[in-house]
Structure 1
């Protein structure tokens, strides 16, 4: 593992570790704001509404973001996104310091952070593609997922400690410093000359050129059947995972304290490290398509168990295996897309991919609120079919959230099994490998 890291180009390591530092600051801020929001409202509905506000702007803006990534230097775009994100976090920190923090202000800040993520996400992954070759990408993607796992371990524990000691304003300052460190590391990255040009130079107007460039990502994905099937697989997986991610904290806090939530998130981080390192080591020895399906099945089984469990140890184990499978799935999927999409198209294709993969998430989260109230609660008490079915999930206020988590897991297991049975992930041969710019 250490040898594979040592052999990677310094440029890509600067980029990956810089993004990880920034993600640590953002994770601390997110943890503190989740605890604050639950303390203020105690409402799953409020969590769901905020998740929708956080998702929609970036999804709508994604096609335009992809065009920007392919037209303009990725280094400059990443720095600009970090500056805007730091300003948004600073506004939250100042509001908390003055006692003016509110769910509305949190939603406004989430709006701008969502827009910056819509640009920085495809820009960062396209940059990694330009700095690596095909053999290096599984290692880089696995290490990236492992670093995210490390962040998941330390951010809940550190977030809970800092929340008590310095509050949201102090954590926001920490987050701003992390953005500054990320920008400093970006300065050290030597990007290759960017020769990608818009595909619509002969269009009749700038608007027509922009529209054609936005649609080119859709057209490219549609013309590649294997990647279209992979994208459909993630659309269904994300429907379950998005609801699970929103109810994760309210579910645990509904029958326990923030301490158990921190433990589950920390064990989940350990799972991400394990899954990420596992894929980094064996990514060149197995088919990435197989890793996507096996990891997806593990994610779903873990979600089913998570919704049933109440004891700390079984709950933490489910969190571990959920995150391990998730890391393997993400690393393998990213390798597939980086390998098959030409570098000149990656901004547009990655942005469209992100928009489609997560496009239905806000709707699924919104639907989950009345579904829990109108279907799951009566089902658990026997008001629908005449017999109580809550012997696994109980009948208290925690039970509907637990049953929802298990149903989300069942959806993920089902789509992974169907894809496996019908051999749904069959990729076309990738294009000629692009030589990376190394130092």
Structure 2
């Protein structure tokens, strides 16, 4: 377990880690604030879920069209510019006179900057950490999920105490601090491929990540495993209407949102106790285990049972750490930012779509039924992904990865 925390010995990692943690904390506070605000004003589960999804769906555009910037310009520059832009946009959202339609439009713009930032951040980490890379990924998973647990558990109370607009102002401040940390504490990190050859079209630069993934069956299967999150995110988007269905008070909304991240923390720590070869081999089984507990929502579970199911789902979801680390390490370095951007684009956009569809179904049949449908569909798709992963010879994939520290 000590090796898990060895990534903190690298100064650049500490800077990127802290900057990311600040932004995550502010973002979750803002998401919960907007979801609660919309649900209180409209009483609509579909609109509440759609508002939450607005923080994800724009990635479908930005990930496809903007992730190439991480392989074109110095990665520190990309991250700083994105953070400064997001800080300014969220600051406008925090103005009390800003109407809801304008806030929604600004939220879309904020999320357009997320893809190039994440692509640059993800491409920098292997350069910073080397053989400590997967350990760094595990640290990020554990601490980010802990931040989500604490943030979700406290968000409803914070919003009730300070108001939605103040919560958004806090989010803007986290982006500003993140930009300052990265600018002063991280090296430039120019992309390893340098500038593209003269005559390289813009479209070839944009599509480079998707092409690299499509030509490598192992990378494509890892992307498939990652994109399964579109099914398991549905309970998150429906936490507000589900809490109302089971008669829980507003304070339980944060607890429902925190249950899955809490499980993910436990799962990530448990997986670090076994050899990487075992973690890589178990990817398919754990992917199925992430969706399978949600099938039990067909029984219309009480609050306590629902929390237990979400926790178990979260424990299994920790496979995403190993899947993501394996994907990045196998991606060609000159295309790493774009490949990572493509993978994250599909994951985030898929999650947004899943939440929207879940919200519509919840409006028609109830939140518990919508979650059960998502879990059943997710388990079936995960079984197919697990079979595909077994054909990729996981032991050979593990042997091809760089040695761990």
Q: Same fold (TM over 0.5)?
A: yes
Mapped partners of 1:90, 1:148: distance in 2:
23
- Partners in 2 of 1:244 and 1:24 — Cα distance? 20
**Offset of residue 50 of structure 1:** 2.8
**RMSD between aligned residues:** 2.9
Partner of 2:66: 65
Question: In 2, Cα distance between the equivalents of 1:264 and 1:373?
Answer: 19
Cα distance in 2, alignment partners of residues 109 and 257 from structure 1 = 30
> Is 2:244 the counterpart of 1:253?
yes
Corresponding position: 1:346 with 2:336: yes
Deviation of the 1:310 alpha carbon: 3.7
C-alpha distance in structure 2 between counterparts of 1:74 and 1:434, whole Å? 23
Q: Deviations over 1:9-68 (max 9, x none)?
A: 221122112201221111112122221111111212213433554444321222332211
SS at match of 2:201: helix
Aligned partner (choices 124, 127, 131) of residue 124 of structure 2: 127
Q: What is the match of residue 28 of structure 2?
A: 27
Cα shift at 1:426:
4.0
Shift of 1:278: 2.5
Indicate conservation of the 8 Å contact 1:143/1:277, yes or no. Answer: no
Instruction: Check 1:372–1:312 CA distance in 2 against 1; reply closer, same or farther (3 A cut).
Output: closer
Tell whether the 8 Å contact from 2:358 to 2:374 is kept in structure 1 after alignment: no
Corresponding residue of 2:367:
401
> 1:101 Cα shift?
4.5
- Cα distance in structure 2, aligned partners of 1:111 and 1:324: 31
> What is the correspondence of 1:111-260 to structure 2 with a 5 Å cutoff?
111-133=108-130, 135-186=131-182, 187-199=184-196, 201-203=197-199, 209-235=201-227, 237-255=228-246, 256-260=248-252
Secondary structure of the structure 2 residue equivalent to 1:72: coil
Secondary structure in 1 matching 2:371 = helix
CA displacement at 1:146 relative to structure 2: 0.8
Q: Does the CA-based 8 Å contact 2:238-2:359 persist in structure 1?
A: no
Q: Which whole-Å CA distance do the structure 2 matches of 1:324 and 1:344 have between them?
A: 34
Query: 2: distance between equivalents of 1:193 and 1:79?
Result: 14
| Corresponding position of 1:396 | none
**Counterpart in 1 of 2:293?**
302
> Which consecutive unaligned segments of at least 5 residues does structure 1 have?
378-399
2: CA distance, partners of 1:229 / 1:285: 17
Matched, 1:319 2:285: no
Contact residue 142 and residue 276 of structure 1 kept, 8 A: yes
**Alpha carbons 1:268, 1:322 under 8 Å: kept:** yes
Aligned partner of 1:331 in structure 2 is 321
Alignment of 1:106 with 2:96, yes or no, is no
Alpha-carbon separation, structure 1, partners of 2:178 and 2:398: 32
Q: Which runs of 4+ in 1 moved over 6 A?
A: 430-436
Relative to structure 1, the CA distance from residue 240 to residue 39 in structure 2 (aligned partners, 3 Å threshold; closer, same or farther) is same
CA separation of 1:280 and 1:78: change in aligned 2, threshold 3 A: farther
C-alpha displacement of 1:192: 4.3
**SS in structure 2 at match of 1:132:** helix
Q: Deviations over 1:67-100 (max 9, x none)?
A: 11101111111111111111222112112xxxx3
Equivalences for 1:259-274 in 2 at 5 Å? 259-274=251-266
Tell whether the 8 Å contact from 1:268 to 1:321 is kept in structure 2 after alignment. Answer: yes
Q: Confirm or deny: 8 A CA contact 1:45 1:369 kept in the other structure.
A: yes
Give unpaired runs (5+ residues) of structure 2: none
In 2, Cα distance between the equivalents of 1:299 and 1:433? 25
C-alpha offsets along residues 334-380 of structure 1, whole Å, 9 cap, x if unaligned?
Answer: 11111101222111111222234455555555555665667xx4xxx
SS at match of 1:282: coil
Q: Comparing 173-182 with 77-86, which one deviates more in the overlay?
A: 173-182
Distance 2:29 2:52 in 1: 17
